[in-house]
Amino acid sequence: MSKRVSFSPLWVGVLALVGFLVFINWPVEEPAQRQGSRATPVVTQIVSIQPFAVTLQALGTAKANESVMITPQESAVITSLNFSDGQQVEAGTILAQLNSNEQKARLNELNINLAEAERQLKRIQNLALSNSTSTQLLDEQQARVKAFIAQREVAQENLNKTFITAPFSGKLGLRQVSLGAYVKPGDVLTTLDDIATIKVDFAISERHLPSVNEGQTVFAESVAYPGIQFEGTITNVDSRIDPATRSFSIRTEIDNTAEQLRPGMLLTITLQKRVLNTLVIDEKALVPDHEDQFVFRVVDGKAVKTKVIIGERRPGKVQILDGVVIDDEVVVQGTLRIRDGSELRVLNSTQG
């Protein structure tokens, strides 16, 4: 047998009174509070005019200021080696000597013949003073002396070729021969590089020709030295445009006294074309939409999506040609969480 539960009118009245009192005393959220809870936190930037360097980049290969392969001019046996791997040498230093016995003997023979010819010439000249000899004999002896002098000069030059010297000051490479080796013209004994100055040739498009001049400063970077820039100067701009690529070559020289750079290195060259005083904002403020670019301006605490025209760009920064003005406040962080008309709560604002 089930038992029926019933409520008296008194209990119903008590419950209704409690509910009414809870309702009227429940804290009501103010509009400002509701607005604050809906606002999206963002970081902004004040648009300003800044110096903006317009640069371009290119790749180039480092080359020594002067570079040669040291080879003999004569075929002979090496009798002396006077250098070691990687040695720094001055111009004229004797690096190696070839067997020169034959050249020395020939030079000695000519010196003897010349001395005898000069003695005979002096005797004939004395006879000519007293008209005791003919003018023809005197002329023949003078010609003989001149011939011996010429032959001696040739012999001296041949002897000089047995001495292999450094044509300029620089750093030697690895030694490729040993003492006693038989060498001939074309055989490489070692290499010699002047790396106190490094040359870099690179090519850029013809449209940049008006903004490039000799004496301009460039900066080079190598993966071997992250974060380090090597300063150089443009020394020559090619007089011709390549008709196949529509580009022209530029030669740059970089001081390499510390010998950090080496011939053959791949270098990234940054060339500063000019410096503009223009409106600049952080690149992360841009919101691409199809082919257009937009930013979110902060106006009365709300986001206003604004189309902008951009100009030159560089890593992290972009030039603004139209769409915003000085002292406009634009969102640089939080753009993905807002849309046109969104309520904003600015966490931090920086100067552009």
| pLDDT (0 to 100) of residue 232 | 94
To which residue do tokens 């790396």 refer? 195
What are the boundaries of each domain within the chain? 40-52+277-351, 57-65+195-275, 72-98+163-188, 100-161
Do strands 344-351 and 40-46 pair parallel, antiparallel, or not at all (unpaired)? parallel
| pLDDT (0 to 100) of residue 33 | 44
Nearest 5°: the CA angle 152, 155, 157 is: 110
Q: Do domains 57-65+195-275 and 72-98+163-188 have the same CATH topology?
A: no
| pLDDT (0 to 100) of residue 134 | 77
Residues 216 and 275: beta-carbon distance below 8 Å: no
| pLDDT (0 to 100) of residue 226 | 92
- What's the whole-model pTM score? 0.62
Question: What is the rounded CA–CA span in Å between residue 112 and residue 264?
Answer: 53
* Residue 202: closest CA among 310, 349, 56, 1: 56
| pLDDT (0 to 100) of residue 287 | 92
| pLDDT (0 to 100) of residue 264 | 93
Question: What is the rounded CA–CA span in Å between residue 139 and residue 125?
Answer: 10
Q: Give the DSSP letter string of 98-110.
A: E--HHHHHHHHHH
* Residue 349: closest CA among 49, 50, 41: 41
CATH topology classification for 100-161: Helix Hairpins (1.10.287)
Name residues of the chain where pLDDT drops below 50.
Answer: 1-5, 24, 27-36
Question: What value does the CA radius of gyration of the chain take, rounded to a whole number of Å?
Answer: 44
Residues 6+ apart with CB under 8 A from 121: 138, 141, 142, 144, 145
* Residue 296: closest CA among 47, 32, 36, 38: 47
The SS3 of residue 279 is: strand
Angle between helices 135-160 and 101-129 (to 10 degrees): 160
Q: How far is CA 253 from the centre of its chain?
A: 10
| pLDDT (0 to 100) of residue 162 | 93
| pLDDT (0 to 100) of residue 34 | 46
To which residue do tokens 């005083």 refer? 277
Q: Give the DSSP letter string of 142-199.
A: HHHHHHHHHHHHHHHHHHHTTEEE-SSSEEE------TT-EE-TT---EEEEEEEEEE
Q: What is the DSSP letter of 74?
A: S
The CATH number assigned to the domain with range 57-65+195-275 reads 2.40.30.170
Task: Give the bridge partners for 343, in sequence order.
Answer: 302
Question: What is the rounded CA–CA span in Å between residue 35 and residue 54?
Answer: 44
| pLDDT (0 to 100) of residue 29 | 45
The class level of CATH for 40-52+277-351 reads mainly beta
The CATH number assigned to the domain with range 72-98+163-188 reads 2.40.50.100
* First-residue to last-residue Cα distance in the chain: 84
